[in-house]
Amino acid sequence: MSRNVFSKGILPHCQKCCRALRWTNQMETFVTKVRGQIKIPKRQMSAHAKPVLQKPPPIKFKSAPPPEAKSNELSPLLKVVLGMFPLTAYGLAYWQWQRRKWKINLLKTIDERTAADPVPLTDLLDTADMNDLDYTKVWLEGEFDHSREVLIGYRPNFQPDRTPKGFKANFGLLVVTPFKLNDTGHEVLVNRGWVPVAWENPETRKEGQITGKVKIYGMIRASERRNPLDVNPTQDPKNPRLFSNRDINAIASYLGTDPVFVDSDLESSVEGGPIGGQTNIKFNNRHMEYVLTWLSLAIGMSVLWRNQAFPRALTKRYTRTV
C-alpha cells in the first residue's frame, strides 16, 4: 500500500481532489525528492520556531554643546532692584550692631551716675552742654511757680502701684514747673511727676501745689530723641501748655527759663500732687538678637539673589547616541 502524503497536515477536501485526478504517486515522488535534496530538519520547518535573539549594541555617549541662555533671564534693572533687599538687610544688621554698642555705653553710664551721691545743681550750671550730664543725680533748693506749669503727654506711669484709684497707669501727663533757685536766682525746669489726664487742670489737685521754699532731689535729663515718623508738632497749637515730647529748648523758650531739666525723684512727691520718680533707668538690650536676625535674612536673600540673577550653567553635558 502506498503512503498517502496528504495524511500529515493536509485538509480532507484537498485529499479528495488529488485522488480524483490520480496524481498521488507523482506528488509523493516529488516530495521525496525535495526532502532528499534539501534535508531540512522537521523542527525548523515548524511555523512556531522562535527567532534567535541578538545582544543590543553598547550605548555610546558624546559631549553636547553648553545649553543656550534661557529666555527668562532677569534683566539688569531687576537684578539691581532685587539686590537692594539683601543690602538693606545687611545695613539693618550693622545699624543694630551700632545700637547695641550705644546701649551698652548708656547702661554703663546710668549705673555709674545713679550709684553716685547727688551734687548741688548750682555747681553744674556753668557746664557747656547739659546733655553730657544726663542721669546725673542732683539736689536743688528754691520755689515753684505753679502759674506757669506745662504738660508733656501722653505718658505711662513708671510708678504704677501709686496710681490713684479709678485711673489707668498707662495714660497720663507729666507736670513740668519752673523752679527758681535760691542761690543764683536762675529758673530751671522740674518734672514734678505723673498725673492722670483728668487732673490736667491744676484746680483738680490744689493740695499738691506746694508753695514756699522746698528742697528736691532728682536727675538731670537731656532732650528726647524725636521719632522721625511722628508728624505731631512739639507744641500743640490749640493748647500751648501741652508738649508732645521733652524738647527742653522749646519748653525753656516758651517759659523763659534756662534750658536745664530735672526729673524729681519719688521721695520729692507730695500727697495729692504729681507722682515723682518718672525717670526710666531700666532698658532691655536685645540688639544682638536683632543683629543675628537681620544677618540671617541678609545671607538667605543673598543666596536667593545669586541663584536668580546669575543661574549656574553646565559647562559640559552628555547625550546618548545609538
Determine the Cα–Cα distance for residues 27 and 15; give it in Å rounded to an integer: 12
Listed in sequence order, the DSSP H helices in the chain are 12-21, 24-38, 76-115, 248-255, 287-309
What grid cell was written down for 308? 536668580
Report pLDDT digits (tens) over 95-107: 999 999 999 999 9
Q: How many domains is the chain partitioned into structurally?
A: 3
Residue 47 covered by a domain: no
Say if residue 253 is in the same domain as residue 153: yes
45 domain residue, yes or no: no
261 and 162 in a single domain? The answer is yes
- Residue 123 in domain: no
Please report whether residue 173 resides in a domain.
yes
Residue with cell 553635558: 317
> In this structure, is residue 158 part of a structural domain?
yes
Residue 6 in this model has a pLDDT that exceeds 50 = no
pTM: predicted TM-score of the whole model, two decimal places: 0.68
Residue 14 belongs to what domain range? 5-38
| Residue 125 included in any domain | no
Per-residue pLDDT tens over the stretch 50-83? 666 677 777 766 666 666 655 567 788 888 888 8
Look at residue 33 and tell me if it is in a domain. yes
Q: Is the same domain home to 203 and 159?
A: yes
pLDDT score of 247 more than 50:
yes
Q: In this predicted model, what pLDDT tens digit does every residue of 198-233 receive, in sequence order?
A: 999 998 888 889 889 999 999 999 998 887 787 888
263 and 198 part of one domain? yes
Q: Give yes or no: residues 252 and 140 share one domain.
A: yes
Q: Domain check: are 223 and 299 in the same one?
A: no
User: CB neighbours (10 Å) of residue 180?
Assistant: 16
Q: Are 28 and 79 in a shared domain?
A: no
Same domain? 264 vs 141 = yes
Asked if 230 and 157 sit in the same domain, the reply is yes
- Give the closest residue to 218 by CA, choosing from 265, 183, 161, 273: 265
Q: Are residues 211 and 143 in the same domain?
A: yes
**Is residue 297 in a domain?**
yes
